A and B are shown apart, each in its own frame.
Chain A
C-alpha cells in the first residue's frame, strides 16, 4: 500500500527533475488546456511529438506510465466507444438502430483516445518527477496570491504537508491493526461484499481513535514549539527558479504558436 501513493515518485537526475515545481505544475495545466486546440493530423502529431519528447527527457521507465494509464482504462474505453458509435457524418460504413460506424466517428474516437493518453501521460509525468513535498510547496506558492482574498493559504500548506507526512505512518498503523485483528480471527479477504465491509469495522474504529489522539499529541508538540497559527512564519525551504524553468516556459510559448499555425 505504501508503494501505491508515495512510491509513484521516481527520483532522478534529469532536467525535468531539477525544474521548479511551480513551473512544472503550471506547464502541466497549460498543456492540458492547449491540447483542446489540436484539431487535425498535423496539430496532433505536434502534441504527440512533444509528449514523447518530454517523456524521453525525464528518463523515467515506461512501465511507470503504463501504471498511470491502467486505472483509467475503462473510462478511456467507454468514451472512445461512445465517440465511435454515436458520432455521425461523412461516409457511414455500418448502422444498427441508434449506433453507426461513420468516417467522422472513427476520426473523433482516435482524437479522443490521443487526447486522453496525452493528458494522463503528462500528469503522470508531473507526479513521477516531483516529490510530493515539492508538489505541496509548488501548490502553496501558486495559491499565495489568494491571500489577498483572506484565504488561509499558510494553514492550508501546513495541512497538506502534515497530511503527506502522516500517510506512511497511518499506512503502517493500518497494517498493524489489521494484523492484530487477524491474530484474533478476523478474515479480511473472504466472503461477499457486505461481509468484507463489516470486516473493516474493527480496523477503521481503532484507526479513527488513534488518528485523533495523534492529532492531539501533535497539536501539543507544535504549540510547545511556538506554533500559534497566527503570526507570520519564515520558511526553511525556498523554491528556486532556474534557467531551465525559463527555457521550459519559452518552449511552451513556441509550442502554442506552432500549434495555432498547424491547426486548420
Chain B
C-alpha cells in the first residue's frame, strides 16, 4: 500500500521567483523509512510543508493514504501526519510537558479520560514519564524533542515526519530520538519520512531521496546512494564515517567489493581481504 504519493510536485513562493521544487515525484510504501537529504536551500523543508498542506503546490498533486490533498481534505490529512520540527523550543505549546503532549489530542476533541491515558502512554514510550509536570524551561533540547515526539505518538498518526528534528541536538539526544522513532516504526508499522542533511541519520532509512536545487537527483537504498561519491559531493553533503572510510581505503589502493554501512560489515570485509592476502 502506498502511504505517500507525490506526483510532479512543483512549488514557488511567489509568481516572480524561481521554482523551489521542480517536478518532484516519489512514492513511499506504508511502514517504510524514507530519508530526504540535501544541503540548506535544496527545498527539503518546502517539500514537507507541501505534504501536510501548510503550503499549497503550484502544480502537481500529493496523495496521502489514498486521499488527495485539497483545501477540503487538509484537516483529515493532518490527522494522519505528525511532524516533529527542527527547533525544540518553538514547537512547545503547553506550559508543562503533559499539557504539550495533550495539545494535539485537545484539538481532536479526544475525551478527558482517554486523553490522560494516551498522554501517559506516549510519555512512557519516549522515556519522559517522570517529567510529566515539568516546564519546558527546565528541559534539555533532547528532552524537549522527545516531548515533541510524544505529542505526535499520542495522536497515533500513520506517518511521522522528522523535519530536521535532530539537527539542534547533541549526539546523545540525537541517537535517543532516532532510537525511539526506530522502535516505533517496527512496533506500530508507521511510515517515517526524515528530512535531514546528516547522512548518518539517512543511513537508517530504507530509501534515500537526494534533493538538490529543488530537483530530485537520485533515489536508492543507502548503499546505492553512498557509493555514488560525486553525486553526494555535488549535493553538498558529506558521507557518513564508514562509507567515507571505504572511499579513503579505495584511494589508498585497497578496493573493497562494495560500500558498507555499518562498522561490523566493514570489519568483516577487511578480515576477509586480510585472509586472502
Using CB atoms and an 8 Å cutoff, list the residues of chain A in contact with chain B. 132-133, 136, 161-162, 164-165, 168-169, 172, 214, 217-218, 220-228, 231-238
Contacts and interface: CB of A to CB of B under 8 A. Distances in A.
Top 4 nearest A-B pairs by Cβ distance? Answer: A221-B91, A236-B102, A217-B90, A168-B137
Contacts of A132: 95
B96 A133 contact: yes
Contacts of A220: 49, 54, 85
B94 A165 contact: yes
26 contacts: A165-B92, A165-B93, A168-B136, A169-B89, A214-B89, A217-B85, A218-B93, A220-B54, A220-B85, A221-B83, A221-B91, A221-B93, A222-B103, A225-B82, A225-B103, A225-B155, A226-B78, A226-B79, A226-B155, A234-B105, A234-B112, A235-B106, A236-B98, A236-B102, A236-B105, A238-B112
B54 A224 contact: yes
B95 A226 contact: no
Contacts of A231: 107, 109
A171 to B, nearest CB: 8
Nearest to B48: A224
B95 A133 contact: yes
Contact of A221 (B90, B95, B108): B90
A238 B112 CA distance: 9
B54 A223 contact: yes
B99 interface: yes
Interface of B: 49, 52, 54, 75, 78-79, 81-83, 85, 87, 89-96, 98-99, 102-112, 115-116, 119, 135-137, 151-152, 155
A234 B111 contact: yes
A226 B104 CA distance: 6
Contacts of A223: 54, 78
B136 A169 contact: yes
Contacts of A133: 95-96
Contacts of A233: 106-107, 109
A224 B81 contact: yes
A26 to B, nearest CB: 22
Contacts of B107: 225-228, 231, 233
Nearest to B137: A168
Best-surrounded residue of A136, A165, A225 (most CB of chain B within 10 A): A225
Contact of B115 (A227, A228, A236): A236
Nearest to A136: B95
B75 A226 contact: yes
Contacts of A218: 90-91, 93
A155 to B, nearest CB: 13
Which label, helix, strand, loop or mixed, suits the secondary structure of the A interface?
helix
Best-surrounded residue of A162, A218, A232 (most CB of chain B within 10 A): A218
Best-surrounded residue of A169, A221, A224, A235 (most CB of chain B within 10 A): A224
Given A220-B54, A231-B109, A225 B94 contact: no
A222 B89 contact: no
A34 B152 CA distance: 50
A235 B108 CA distance: 11
Contact of A165 (B79, B136, B151): B136
B96 A169 contact: no
Nearest to A225: B104
B137 A172 contact: yes
Given A217-B91, A233-B109, 10 more contacts: A136-B95, A165-B95, A165-B136, A224-B54, A225-B93, A226-B107, A231-B107, A231-B109, A236-B98, A237-B99
Contact of A217 (B79, B87, B106, B135): B87
Contacts of B135: 165, 168
A165 B49 CA distance: 26
Nearest to A222: B93
Nearest to B109: A234
Contacts of B106: 233-236
Contacts of B119: 236
Contacts of B155: 225-226
A220 B78 CA distance: 12
A235 B81 CA distance: 22
Nearest to B49: A220
A168 B93 CA distance: 14
Contacts of B52: 224
